[in-house]
């Protein structure tokens, strides 16, 4: 039995300017114990999909189950199995960190949970803030409390929606070490993130959403293998010749060009020389998940890509 199953999930929002189809026929399974990445640009439908999973929104059609429990008809069992870290940095200003965790634990019917609450506080670097009111915490600290709240009832399936947005390096390391431990202990993790290096490092399997459809679904290693093998990176002040500019990814002074094989690398270098472009700090590297992501998002129409992968 999969930890999470999405079956033909569609979601249409009625807006004053007509219907907006946020999700179209999304189907995939997340197996128990997986570390699964859900990627996609803003507005692709990631948060909508997670909201439907968590019961915050309802699918227009289709079905979602958590460990076999339907999130609508059997919501008690489904929600007990889920721990959701929401994207928004929300908190209840009336309570301290420990009170917040005790209250959340109570909602799930877990009593006498102090040992686990202490462990969560310790592992997330919150031990010295346990008595502090939520209002007094910095943004990063509030984010840690959100993670602790999601885990307080020891859910077997953990959903992290952009948990590292605006978070400093130290917290990211703490968080990933802890989540990786939970995953090793057998918990399933579903992660959405904009930091593709995180997804590449952590996720065994990845689904990519584009305009509400699944456009890629594969093991991370396969996604990386199936794309352009090399990446030419360099810095320059000059403008690229039109033929190169069309296929280049430019970030400030940094230019990246995808190349399949040594022949194409040579051709690119020749084109640069011919265009009179002076390339500094030139290096040739392996394509990373960001390259795969951009290739898929800019590439084939959504429907065709899904079929190819099915």
Partner 1 sequence: MSGPFAGAAPLLRKEVLRFWKVGFQTVAAPVLTALLYLLIFGHVLEEHVQVFGQVGYTAFLIPGLVMMSVLQNAFANSSSSLIQSKVTGNIVFLLVTPLSHWAWFAAYVGAAVLRGLMVGVGVLAVTAWLAPLGWTAPGWTLVFMLLGAAMMGALGLVAGLWAEKFDQIATFQNFIVMPMTFLAGVFYSVETLPPFWRAVSHLNPFFYMVDGFRYGFFGVSDTSPWVSLAVVAASFAAVALLALSLLRSGYKLRS
Given a contact cutoff of 8 angstroms between Cβ atoms, the answer to whether 16 and 35 are in contact is no
41-60: contacts with partner 1 (CB under 8 A): 51, 54-58
- For 103, the 3-state DSSP assignment is helix
Taking residues 161 to 200 in sequence order and writing x for each that binds partner 1 by CB under 8 A, - otherwise, the string is: ----------------------------------------
- For 215, the 3-state DSSP assignment is strand
Please compute Rg for the chain using Cα positions: 22
Residue span binding partner 1 (CB under 8 A) among the ranges 73-81, 119-127, 234-242, 250-258: 73-81
Q: Hey, what are 225's tokens?
A: 């293998």
Least separation in angstroms between residue 281's CB and partner 1 is 44
Exactly one of 28, 95, 116, 176 binds partner 1 (CB under 8 A); which one?
95
Least separation in angstroms between residue 108's CB and partner 1 is 6
| Among 134, 131, 137, 130, residue whose Cα is nearest residue 93 | 134
Q: Which secondary structure element, helix H or strand E, spans residue 148, and what is its range?
A: helix 139-151
Exactly one of 65, 104, 220, 230 binds partner 1 (CB under 8 A); which one?
104
Exactly one of 19, 92, 168, 197 binds partner 1 (CB under 8 A); which one?
92
Q: Is residue 226 part of the contact set for partner 1 (CB under 8 A)?
A: no
Residue 223's φ and ψ, nearest 5 degrees, are: -60, -40
Q: Is residue 93 part of the contact set for partner 1 (CB under 8 A)?
A: yes
- For 8, the 3-state DSSP assignment is strand
Q: Is residue 156 part of the contact set for partner 1 (CB under 8 A)?
A: no
The number of helices, as runs of H, and strands, as runs of E, in the chain is 12, 14
Residues that bind partner 1 (CB under 8 A): 13, 51, 54-58, 75-77, 79-80, 82, 84, 86, 88, 90-95, 99, 103-109, 149
């Amino acid at each position: 039995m999969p930890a999470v199953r999405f079956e033909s999930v569609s979601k249409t929002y009625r807006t004053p300017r007509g219907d907006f189809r946020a999700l179209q026929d999304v189907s995939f399974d997340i197996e128990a114990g997986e570390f699964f990445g859900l990627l996609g640009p803003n507005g692709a439908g990631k948060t909508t999909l997670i909201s439907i999973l968590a019961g915050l929104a309802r699918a227009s059609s289709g079905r979602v189950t958590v460990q076999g429990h339907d999130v609508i008809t059997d919501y008690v069992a489904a929600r007990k199995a889920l721990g959701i870290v929401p994207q928004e940095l929300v908190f209840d200003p009336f309570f301290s960190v420990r009170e917040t965790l005790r209250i959340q634990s109570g909602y799930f019917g877990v009593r006498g949970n102090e040992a686990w609450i202490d462990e969560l506080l310790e592992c997330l670097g919150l031990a010295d803030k346990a008595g502090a009111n939520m209002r007094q915490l910095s943004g990063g600290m509030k984010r840690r409390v959100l993670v602790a709240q999601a885990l307080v009832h020891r859910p077997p399936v953990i959903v992290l929606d952009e948990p590292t947005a605006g978070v400093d390096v130290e917290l990211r390391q703490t968080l990933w070490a802890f989540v990786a431990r939970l995953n090793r202990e057998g918990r399933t993790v579903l992660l959405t993130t904009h930091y593709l290096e995180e997804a590449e490092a952590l996720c065994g399997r990845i689904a990519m959403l584009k305009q509400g459809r699944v456009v890629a679904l594969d093991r991370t290693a396969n996604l990386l293998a199936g794309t352009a093998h090399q990446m030419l990176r360099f810095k320059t002040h000059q403008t690229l010749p039109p033929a190169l500019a069309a296929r280049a990814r430019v970030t400030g002074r940094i230019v990246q060009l995808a190349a399949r094989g040594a022949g194409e690398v040579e051709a690119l270098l020749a084109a640069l020389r011919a265009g009179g472009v002076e390339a500094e700090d030139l290096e040739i590297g392996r394509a990373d998940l960001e390259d795969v992501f951009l290739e898929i998002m800019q590439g084939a129409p959504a429907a065709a890509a899904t079929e190819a992968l099915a």
